Amino acid sequence: MSGNGAVWGRVRSRLRAFPECLAACGAEAAAYGRCVQASTAPGGCLKKDLCAQEFEALRSCFAAAAKNTLTGGR
């Protein structure tokens, strides 16, 4: 069962890094949020892949920030 503790340690470290990763991608998160908000405004219609470009930019930024945070910038 000692291996199970190692898994939970990695999960906890990733969760602790989440706020830092999100802060590193503020512009992308804001752009995605604006897109979703605009499509759900009165008269708007949120559809699949409507904000795909903004989401992909946010996902890429977050993945890069997580990699830098979890590896110590290596």
Question: Domain locations in the chain?
Answer: 3-72
* Residue corresponding to tokens 């989401």: 55
Q: What is the mean pLDDT of the chain?
A: 83
pLDDT confidence band for 70 (50 / 70 / 90): low
pLDDT at 72 (0 to 100): 61
Distance CA 64, CA 74 (A): 11
pLDDT digits (tens, 9 = 90+) for 15-26: 887 888 788 899
Instruction: Assess contact for 47 and 36: CB atoms under 8 A.
Output: no
Distance CA 69, CA 1 (A): 28
SS3 54: helix
Among 45, 17, 18, 50, smallest CA distance to 35 is for: 50
